[in-house]
Structure 1
Amino acid sequence: MSRILHRLGYRTAAHPWRTISAWLVVVVAAFALAGSFGGTTHDDYNVPEARAQAGVEQLRAHVPDGGGATAQVVVHDRHGDPLSAADLDGLIQRLGALDHVSSVSQPRLSADSDTALVTIGYDAPVTDPDLVGAHGYDPLEGAIEPLRDAGLQAELGGELPGGAESTMKGTGELAGVIAALALLIIAFGSVVAAGLPLAVALTGLAVGSAGITLLAATMDVSTAAPTVATMVGLGVGIDYALLLVTRHVEFLGQGLDKREAAGRAMATAGRSVVFASLTVLISLMGLRLGGLPVYSTFGYATAIAVVSVLAAALTLVPALCGLAGRRLMPRRARRGLPARSRKAPLTARWAAQVVKRPVAAALAALVFLLFLAAPVLGMRTWPQDGSSNSKDTSVRQAYDLIDAEYGAGANGPFTIVVDTTQADPQAIATQIADRPGIAEVTTPFTTPDGAIAVFDAEPAYGPADERTSDLVTALREELPAGVEVTGNTPMFADLSGMLSERLWVVVGFVVAVSVLLLAMMFRSVVVPLKAAVMNLLSIAASYGVLTAVFQWGWGGSLLGIDHAVAVSSWIPILTFAILFGLSMDYEVFLLSRIREDWLRTGDATGSVERGLAATGRVISSAAAIMVVVFLGFSTEADTVVKQLGFGMAVAIVLDATVVRMVLVPATMTMLGKWNWWLPAWLDRLLPTIDAEKFDHDEADLWAELGETEKVGA
């Protein structure tokens, strides 16, 4: 691999315009293919393994236009006056005339008649292209606009409006990119060097976006998948380019020609980038074990983005480095002036202190991470509903009105489906109505074919209340065969339970395969096992912070959360798979330099200090950039995206500081030569992969390769 990467780096640096031109062709071709053959993202909310899905399938089979999307309209007179029957009749007529609307309920008036609740049923699922986003939302807005013009409050709630109001705005990501550029300028001291990683990452991401569009033509790709792919692709793309540019500048500072510097940077840092990306891809493939089709699309889409930015980093970085020449170096270095300060770099001084007192440093870091992780013991997950939306959204205002006027359970009624050949619908309705925890039961409606009867049971608690999930479980245990409890809230309860169980399957797969890969790379048993444990610690700590901020409400107002909300059920599996791969990125970068020094010197303690001193700044810079990118996503209105961005930002901060700068070097110092212990039998079984190795024999090899390249050129 060293020969291949050296040759790639040398040649692309020697002939940069060939590579740049090739990438222009690739970008144009990718967008042309995406425009001609690409598909559109489409959500699939069917969950075959969920108990509530059985009831949904019965409704689709026996109820005309049943099992489709639903929406709610809440009309309220702010002065407390009774609503006009004429206004409500007009609303019913306008709603009934909308495309795909199959049913409109009669207005349900509140006790004082100042509020009306209307439920709308559609003949198509919420994922239907005719209903997604503005296609379904705008007609509803038009139907309620006359009520608003008359001075009434009219809000949209429920399934369809909830999806439409979660659309990404993109302003946060733009702010993150600008902040990343500023950090790059500070890190390099050169505008050219700062812009290069960002340009490479955006180019790779553009091709990746086209690839995701082509993927959408072959399978259902979740509408949220491109967001996750952009978040991860942008972060790792900048990281990979940053590592390569840093090593290139380092070799330039040693007096090497720009072509040779590019070749050597690729042969060292390039190998780390390749294998770091492998750890990310392995983690992403673990998403397939999440049990839901949507997770698979997250994994595939993000993998396309990672591969695209990796290809850009390995080819565009050396090409642009060759084009920029010594302009990548800080101005003082280009002029041959001495550094402003003769003090050792901060990372070197920090490394010396950690190595000097490893036990104290390790204990302090461990206690701190365990303290942050403690809230995870009380973490409760629940899919997003109207209660978790921003209070400025119509969905949240509709939710609050329903809660205040009809009770919390009116926001999440259960749909009871009774097989008339196995149970008496009226007896089932009476049994459920008499049960504690049920506030109201509607009259059973028998389908035209007489096969099933359907009615709603309204719980006394809100959808996100923990007692609601317990109530769903209890009803299913008490009711006889032939009765199904379904609807959005029971489906959410099923999802929450399924994903909690699947988390451990994903964790086991990702950890096992990552440990095996690290063992092959670093020829050690201790290093990969220790890396896995520390990554799990930092991820658990991020879960703990997420729980404290969102579920406990500590500081949530800073993120636009006005009340405590449960952690989204989608978050634990998704963030684990992504974060474990990203954490392994930094582990590979750090351990590569430590092992490089260890192989050259045989000094176990000194190699840790020198490896940390050499990589501390680049890891910190890369982490800071990724953090601002993720925080940009945390400014979005959608609570799931907000939690995802914030949780990942916290995890990266902890991983790059507490873990990578304290816990890893401290424990490696204490273990000494035992870090690199590998049983002989296992050494023979494991394939050999060198992540980043530099010694005098390789230096001679590179010199020989360089001369060969010069002759070839």
Structure 2
Amino acid sequence: MSRTLAAVGRYAATHPWRTIGLWAVVAAAVFSLAAAFGGPTREDWDVPAAPAQHGTDLLRAHLPEMGNTSAQVVVHDDAPLPSGTLDELSGRLATLDHVLRVTPPRMSADGDTAVLVMQYDVPVTDPDVYEDISPIEEVVQPYRDAGLQVELGGELPGTAVGTMEGVGEMIGIGVALLVLLLVFRSVVAAGVPIVLAVAGLAVGGAGVTVLAGLISVTPYAPTIATMVGLGVGIDYALLLLTRMLEGRRAGLSVIESAARAGATAGRSVVLAGCTVLVSLLGLKLAGLTTFSTMGFATAIAVVAVMGTSLTLVPAVFRLTHRWVEKRFLRQVARPRGTRVERWSQRVAGRPVPWIVGAGLVMIVLAAPVLDMRTWPQSGSDDPASSQLRRAYDLVTEEFGAGAPTPYLFVADRSVVDAGTLAGTVAELRQRDDLVNVTDPQVSPDGAIAVVSAESVYVDNDARTGDQVDSLRTGLPDGVDLTGTSPMMSDIADRLAGRLWLVIAFVVATSMLLLLLMFRSVWIPVKAAAMNLLSVAAAYGVVTAVFQWGWGLELLGVDHARPVSTWLPILMFAILFGLSMDYEVFLLSRVREEYERTGDPRGSVARGLAATGTVITAAAAIMVAVFFGFISESATIIKMLGFGMGTAILLDATLVRMVLVPATMTLLGHRNWWLPAWLDRVLPRVAPEVHEDAPVLERV
């Protein structure tokens, strides 16, 4: 691997314009494929194995107005609403495309609030309606102009709020430029990693468009791909550029510096990228199409920025090295120990207290995870300024906690007779946790009957999951419980069960990769434990902030809520891969130093010193990219950005700068222990570090 990557770096630096031209041809080909075969992103929210899905399928087949998407139009005034106005509004809404029926207005007790439900003939993910509420807005606007408060809520309007505005990316790029300016003291050197990362990300984005033309790709996938791709793209370019500059400082030519960087830093980029890809592909095990497409899309972005970094960084360095080197070489002209190296030696001097102290901090931060409660999504999640939230609040205040998300009991009449169904309805009406239980509504073809009921709890209440289980336990064969809340409960249960499968796969595969990379038993065990600790601490912080409400107002969220069910698996898969990135960067350099000197303690200090600036800068950039997404309006994106930014911050400080050097100091030579029998059977992908290779001084 090292020889191949060295050859790539040498060729790119020797023929920079040819390399840039070849990259442009590949990019043009990908963009052409995107134009010819690409498609728009779209959701696929069906969960075939979920208990609620069977009832939904029956409704779509026999009573489509209740089985497909819907929208709530909530009308409110300070005085009782005139029936003529509501009838007129209902008639106009009924003329819109794909609307099968508009239910009669449901009036509040005082008559000042009404809810009209628009029932469609297509699911919410249909491209004709998904994220498009402009036809409804055009109909209701005259009534707003007349002084009525009209808010849109429910499933379909829920897809049109919280769309990405791109602010997070801009914040991340701005902070990245500032960090790189501080590191390199050169606008050109600072701009190279960013420009190349964005170029690679553009190709990756085109690849995601091609993927969307082949399968249903969730609209959140490009956001996650951008979030991860931008961060790792800058990291990879930064690592390669720094290693080339070190080669120049050691007296190598530009071309040999590029070759040496490819053989060392390039190998780290490939192996680190592989760990990220393994983690992302673990999302497939979550069993939901949404997660699978997020993993595939982000993997495409990672491959694109990885390939761009390995080829374009040496080519661009050859063309710009005079400007890039000028300040860097002057800045480090006098060999000296760095603050990072001195810090490493301090930690190595008393490793046990440092391990205990940092470990306790991480455990305390992780403690709230024991109280973590998850729920996919709710109409109450959005900010108070959102009309979806205003509609949700009006409906719950006027009609009850469960009114926005009624339960639907679907009876297959070929299995359930009239007497059994009547008995089931009577039992439901006797429950004190249900209200407004309706009489059965029979489908036109007589195949099914539907009973609607409302919970006394809001949809994301801690008791909803148990309520759903209790209701299902008491239902006779042939009756399915479906609706928004039962489907959300099924998704929560499914992901909670699959989380451990994803963790086991990602951890085991990543440990195997590290075992192959570093020919050591303890390195992968230690890395897995550290990364699991980082993720657990991030889970704990997210729980404390979003579920307990600690400092929530600072993030622009006005109330506490459960942690999104989508978050634990998504965060774990992404963060474990990114943490392994830094682990590979650091350990590759420590391994080189150890093989050169045989000094276990000194190699840790020198390896940390050599990568400290790069890892710190890369982590700062990654944290900025992730925290930048807190500015987005969607709560799940805020939560994801905050959680991942927190995890990277902890990983780059307490883990990488304290726990790793302290534990490696304690292990000493045992860090690199591998049984002889295992050494013989394992394939060799370890770095090729030769004794005559130039010794690189530390930044």
TM-score using structure 2 length: 0.97
- The equivalent of 1:3 in structure 2 is 3
1:558 paired to 2:543: no
Match of 1:382 in 2: 375
User: What is the alpha-carbon distance in structure 1 between the residues aligned to residue 668 and residue 328 of structure 2?
Assistant: 39
Match of 1:686 in 2: 682
Q: CA deviation at 1:332?
A: 6.7
Contact 2:429/2:435 (<8 A) preserved: yes
Deviations 1:650-676 (A, max 9, x none): 110011111111101101101111111
Using the TM superposition, give the Cα deviation of residue 118 of structure 1 relative to its aligned residue in structure 2, in angstroms.
1.2
| Residue aligning to 1:243 | 239
Q: Give how far 1:536 is off.
A: 0.4
Of 142, 152, 156, which residue of structure 2 is paired with 1:156?
152
Contact 2:184 2:327 in 1 (8 A): no
Following superposition, the deviation at residue 65 of structure 1 comes to 4.6
Q: How far off is 1:338 after superposition?
A: 5.1
2:506 aligned partner:
510
**Counterpart for residue 31 of structure 1:** 31
Structure 1 position 420 matched with structure 2 position 413: yes
CA drift of 1:328 comes to 1.4
Cα distance between partner residues in 2 of 1:131 and 1:325: 52
- Whole-angstrom CA distance in 2 between matches of 1:482 and 1:217: 38
> CA 1:668/1:39 → structure 2, altered by over 3 Å: closer, same or farther?
same
Q: Residue in 1 aligned with 2:52?
A: 52
Deviations 1:448-480 (A, max 9, x none): 121211121100000000111111100000111
1:75 aligned partner, one-letter code: V
CA distance in structure 2 between the partners assigned to 1:343 and 1:695 by the alignment: 25
TM-aligned CA deviation for residue 72 of structure 1 = 0.6
Verify: 1:447 aligned to 2:443, yes or no.
yes
* Distance in 2 between residues matched to 1:332 and 1:101, nearest whole Å: 65
Q: 1:331 aligns with which of 297, 304, 327?
A: 327
Measure, in 1, the Cα distance between the counterparts of 2:460 and 2:64: 30
1:117 aligns with 2:115: yes
Match of 1:706 in 2: none
SS in 1 for 2:446: coil
Shift of 1:223: 1.3
Quote the residue 2:476 is aligned against: 480
Q: Is the 8 A contact 1:476 1:485 kept in 2?
A: yes
CA drift at 1:510: 0.6
Comparing 601-610 and 425-434, the one that deviates more: 425-434
Q: Which residue of 670, 673, 684 corresponds with 2:669?
A: 673
Residues 184 and 328 in structure 2, CA contact (< 8 A), matched pair in contact too = no
Q: Which residues of structure 1 form unaligned runs of 5+?
A: 703-713
Q: Is the 8 A contact 1:383 1:569 kept in 2?
A: yes
Q: Structure 1 pair 679/364, CA: closer, same or farther in 2 (3 Å)?
A: same
Give the counterpart of 1:216 among 212, 216, 220: 212
Q: 1:361 aligns with which of 318, 336, 354?
A: 354
Of stretches 160-169 and 369-378 in structure 1, the one that deviates more from structure 2 is 160-169
2: CA distance between counterparts of 1:477 and 1:308? 50
Match of 1:404 among 379, 391, 397: 397
| Partner of residue 18, structure 1 | 18
Q: Which residue number in structure 2 is paired with residue 145 of structure 1?
A: 141
Alpha carbons of structure 1 residues 545 and 106: separation in structure 2 relative to 1, 3 Å: same
**Contact (CA 8 Å) 1:258, 1:326: kept in 2 or not?**
no
- Amino acid across the alignment from 1:504: W
Q: Which amino acid aligns with 1:456?
A: S
SS in structure 1 at match of 2:549: coil
Match for residue 574 of structure 2? 578
In 2, the alpha carbon distance for the partners of 1:344 and 1:591 equals 19
Q: In the alignment, which residue of structure 2 is the partner of 1:709?
A: none
How far 1:633 moved relative to its partner? 1.6
| 1:348 counterpart (335, 341, 345) | 341
Check whether the contact 1:188–1:330 (CA below 8 A) recurs between aligned residues. Answer: no
Shift of the alpha carbon at 1:165? 0.8
For 1:60 and 1:337, how far apart are their aligned partners in 2? 69
Per-residue displacement from partner, 1:106-163 (whole Å, max 9, x unpaired)? 11111111111111110001111110122xx101111211221111111010110011
Q: Is the 8 A contact 2:250 2:694 kept in 1?
A: no
Question: How far apart, in 1, do the equivalents of 2:436 and 2:36 lie?
Answer: 53
SS at match of 2:411: strand
Please point out which of 364, 382, 396 is paired with 1:371: 364
Shift of 1:439: 2.1
74, 93, 97: which one aligns with 2:91? 93
Shift of 1:423: 4.2
* Identical counterparts, % of pairs: 56
Q: How far, CA to CA, are the matches of 1:391 and 1:104 in structure 2?
A: 27
- Secondary structure at the aligned position of 2:159 is classed as helix
For the 8 Å contact 1:384–1:639, the answer to whether it is kept is no
SS at match of 1:408: coil
Paired position in structure 1 for 2:619: 623
Q: Distance in 2 between matches of 1:579 and 1:14?
A: 36
Give the alignment of 1:484-495 within 5 angstroms: 484-495=480-491
Structure 2 unmatched runs, 5+: none
State the secondary structure of the residue aligned to 2:74. Answer: strand
Q: Secondary structure at the match of 1:325?
A: helix
Contact kept, 8 Å, 2:158 with 2:388, in 1: the verdict is yes
Measure the CA separation in 2 of the matches of 1:98 and 1:332: 64
Whole-Å Cα distance in 1 between the matches of residues 229 and 129 of structure 2? 30
Q: Which amino acid aligns with 2:501?
A: V
Q: Is the 8 A contact 2:592 2:689 kept in 1?
A: yes
2-side partners of 1:484 and 1:372: how far apart?
42
For the residue of structure 2 that corresponds to 1:496, the secondary structure is: helix
Post-superposition CA distance 1:534-591 (Å, at most 9, x none): 1000000000011111111111111111000111111111111111111000000111
Judge which range, 154-163 or 256-265, deviates more.
Answer: 256-265
CA distance in 2, matches of 1:338, 1:254: 10
* CA distance in 2 between partners of 1:457 and 1:207 (Å): 50
**Within 2, Cα distance between the matches of 1:243 and 1:176?**
18
Q: TM-score, normalised by structure 1?
A: 0.95
Q: Secondary structure of the equivalent of 2:100?
A: strand
Q: 2:640 — aligned with what?
A: 644
Give the SS at the match of 1:112. Answer: coil
Shift of 1:697: 3.9
Question: Does the CA-based 8 Å contact 1:162-1:385 persist in structure 2?
Answer: no
Q: State the AA in 1 paired with 2:316.
A: L
Q: Aligned with 1:634: secondary structure?
A: helix
Secondary structure of the structure 1 residue equivalent to 2:138: helix
Q: Report deviation, 1:28.
A: 2.7
1:411-442 Cα offsets, whole Å, 9 max, x none, are: 22101111234143333222111112112212
Match of 2:288 in 1: 292
In structure 2, what residue type is equivalent to 1:25?
V
The superposition leaves residues 603-637 of structure 1 with CA deviations (integer Å, 9 ceiling, x where unpaired) of: 11111111111111110100100111111122111
Provide, for residues 209-232 of structure 1, a one-character-per-residue CA deviation record: whole Å limited to 9, x for no partner. Answer: 111111111111111111111111
For residue 410 of structure 1, give the secondary structure of its aligned residue in structure 2. coil
3-state SS of 1:230 partner: helix
The answer to whether the 8 Å contact 1:592/1:693 transfers is no
Is 1:632 matched up with 2:625?
no
Q: Which amino acid aligns with 1:352?
A: Q
Q: Is the 8 A contact 1:595 1:693 kept in 2?
A: no
Counterpart check, 1:127 vs 2:125 = yes
The 3-state SS of whatever aligns with 2:101 is: strand
- What is the total number of aligned residue pairs between the two structures? 693
Are residues 312 and 438 of structure 1, via their aligned partners in 2, closer, same or farther at CA, if it must alter by over 3 Å? Answer: same
* Counterpart code for 1:516: L
1:343 to 1:604, Cα distance in 2 relative to 1, 3 A: closer
Does structure 1 retain, via aligned residues, the 8 Å contact 2:2–2:688?
Answer: no
* Matches of 1:156 and 1:100, distance apart in 2: 17
